[in-house]
Amino acid sequence: MTAPNPSPSSTSAFHQPDAARRIWAKDPTFWKADPSLAPLIKNRLGWLTIVPAMQAQVRELLDFAEESKRSGCTHVVLLGMGGSSLAPEVFAHTFGSAPGYPTLHVLDSTDPATIRAVEHAVDLSNTLFICSSKSGTTIETSSLYQYFAERLRTTHGKQGKPLGAQFIAITDPGTPLERLARDVQFRRIFLAPPDVGGRFSALTVFGLVPAALIGVDLRALLQRAQQMGTACAASVSREQNPGISLGILLGGRAKAGRDKLTFVISPVIERFGTWLEQLIAESTGKEGQGIVPVEGEALGQPVAYSDDRVFVAIKVHGNQTSHPGETSIEATLKRLEGDGHPVIRLTLNDRLELGGEFFRWELATAVAGAMLGINPFDEPNVTESKDNTKRLLEQFHATGALQEGSPVFHQDGFQVFGDVPAVPSLSTVLAHHLSQSRHGDYIALMAYFQQTPEHHRALHAIRQTLRDTFKVATTVGYGPRFLHSTGQLHKGGPDHGLFLQLTAEDQEDLPIPGQPYTFGVLKRAQAVGDFLALKAHGRRVIRIHIGRRQADGTGKITLAAALQRLLSAFEEVATELASR
């Protein structure tokens, strides 16, 4: 693996030559001098030394995976969010399932269509469900558990099997999820170390149990992690230390205004970018500071970018980083370098070196956080959207209606909520909102509907139009999963975000057993709750609600067709601006 060296300008801004020693000593004052914060920080540093403990547990995890195979398990469905779901998603998409092992599905959404799609993709009677939550109180995980438990009750009643036989739990000791798992007699309970935060938990049971179940080589994966840990040891100078030097570079560039960290990742490991997105955004986006991870944005020519970018190219040796018919990625990166944009290159010898990359980037993020003067191990603004959602659901229970406010624009099946003056068309609404764009901003598309290839293509066409028109970084997040990821940065980071929240009518809704609301209502409440949290922080945000009926009421249109209409409106704005 190649390791970047910090530039002199980045290094000079970091006056802690003993950074590695202090980090490995788990010195909380490396990040914050406030004594009241010391216990909180110290209780989130277990990721530094977790690898040997997990190596000792490998045999247990492999035995459980073999036991699951023998029991006839053909599918595994993980019910979790954020730190509980993103590393398993990386493993599933990077390695797939080894011969004879079950297929892993990661369900981290309250969208009814997404839930139904997973349900239809598996054989419920031969599926193992993983309830994964560090706190054990995650509303998405508990709601999904109730749904699938209810779906299984009839089947189990006929077969005489206990309900818990098809569930396992991954959680911290003493959580409500652990108590539920014991009461219902879950098949297994895996307890995670409480001193490792969720987004730093890829190399704990949160990541490794799902990986074992699909046949990933845990020994090799952890060996690569151990090798990276050794390379980043306290005795290694910061110039030669892969994690420290990367962190200094990222933090130094961010402090100098290049805070849009843009990833260019080989297709074979591209889902690693979604894990990096959470790690960096949730760790650094607070106290008005933050590094904006830009994941999944198509690579453009130098003219598409402002001077706030750092590019990170991560590839696997021998794996192509370009697609047939496209310009070579490496040639484009060289042009970007020639235009003055920093480019970091990391090359992995094989996919298993992701074990080392998990550790390298955890350490680098911790160092970058110290350079920005923040505590990278908390998430102080995440609860704001959760509290708003809870209040909205309570109001729904009491009144039978969700308090969403009134739209300021309603035409052709689109409703707009937010601070928008009276205007004649959707394109005018968008033009007004986007006219607030400033140098150094980013535009975030936040979509609360199913992530299908068709929807994804439309959203990425919109983001490319926005990037090329306004020369700003763009992000795409699917709700509510991004609330456990970039949501912290959106509210706690600098006021550099221009937010476009997209909601849509559900064609089909699903009940949540034991609750007075459905998954569709929960999802809508989560969207409105986050909208209100963004407004409370003075963020520039509008919500566009996409209806399914033509303006004349004569028929329905698909969400994909509505997104194409929305794309046309954005393109109209871009054309108008280009002609000025």
DSSP string, 29-40: GGT---GGGHHH
Domain count, the chain: 3
Q: Please check whether residues 507 and 441 belong to one and the same domain.
A: yes
* 320 in the same domain as 292: yes
Is 158 part of a structural domain of the chain?
A: yes
Predicted pLDDT of residue 4? 57
The SS3 assignment for 4 reads coil
CA dist 184 and 289 (Å) reads: 44
Residues 456 and 528 in one domain: yes
Q: Are residues 368 and 393 in the same domain?
A: no
Instruction: Scan for tokens 């306004």, then name that residue.
Output: 470
pLDDT of res. 12: 44
User: Does the pLDDT of residue 321 top 80, yes or no?
Assistant: no
CA distance 196 to 200: 6
Neighbour-count burial of 130, counting CB atoms closer than 10 A to its CB (0-12 exposed, 13-18 middle, 19+ buried): buried
My answer on whether 361 and 406 are in the same domain is no
407, part of any domain: yes
Q: What is the pLDDT of residues 257-290, one digit of tens each?
A: 999 999 999 999 999 999 999 999 999 999 999 9
Whether 240 and 160 map to the same domain: the answer is: no
Which token pair is 217?
């080589």
Q: Which of 200, 222, 244 is the last residue of a domain?
A: 222
Cα 30 from Cα 370, distance rounded (Å): 7
| Domain of residue 394, CATH code | 3.40.50.10490
| Residue 118 covered by a domain | yes
pLDDT, tens digit (0-9, with 9 covering 90-100), for 432-456: 999 999 999 999 999 999 999 999 9
Q: Are 473 and 308 in contact (CB under 8 A)?
A: yes
Which of 372, 391, 412 is at the close of a domain? 372
Tell me which of 73-82, 391-400, 411-420, 471-480 is least confident: 411-420
The full DSSP string for 388-431 is: HHHHHHHHHHHHSS------SEEETTEEEEES----SSHHHHHH
Percent of residues, the chain, with pLDDT higher than 90: 88
Q: Is residue 526 part of a domain?
A: yes
- What mean pLDDT is predicted for residues 124-133? 97
Q: Does 231 map to a domain?
A: no
Same domain, yes or no: 112 and 178 = yes
How many whole angstroms separate alpha carbon 335 and alpha carbon 250?
Answer: 21
Range of the domain at 86: 47-222
- pLDDT per residue over 489-541, tens digit each? 999 999 999 999 999 999 999 999 999 999 999 999 999 999 999 999 999 99
pLDDT surpasses 80 at 428: yes
Q: What is the pLDDT of residue 76?
A: 98
Shared-domain flag, residues 244 and 216 = no
What pLDDT, on the 0 to 100 scale, is given for residue 158? 52
pLDDT at position 423 over 50: yes
pLDDT at residue 353, rounded to an integer = 98
Same domain for 361 and 473? no
Show which of 222, 254, 285 is a domain's final residue: 222
Q: Which residue has the tokens 């986050």?
A: 530
Is position 34 within any domain?
A: no
194 shares a domain with 173? yes
pLDDT band at 2 (very low <50, low <70, confident <90, very high): low
Residue 326 confidence (pLDDT) above 50: no
* Interval 114-125 mean pLDDT: 97
Structural Rg of the chain based on CA atoms: 23
pLDDT tens sequence across 386-404: 999 999 999 999 999 999 9
183 plus 71 within the same structural domain: yes
Q: Residue 365 domain-assigned?
A: yes
Q: What are phi and psi of 354, to 5 degrees?
A: -60, -30
Q: Indicate whether 54 and 187 sit together in one domain.
A: yes
Cβ atoms of residues 73 and 126 within 8 Å:
yes
Domain contains 167: yes
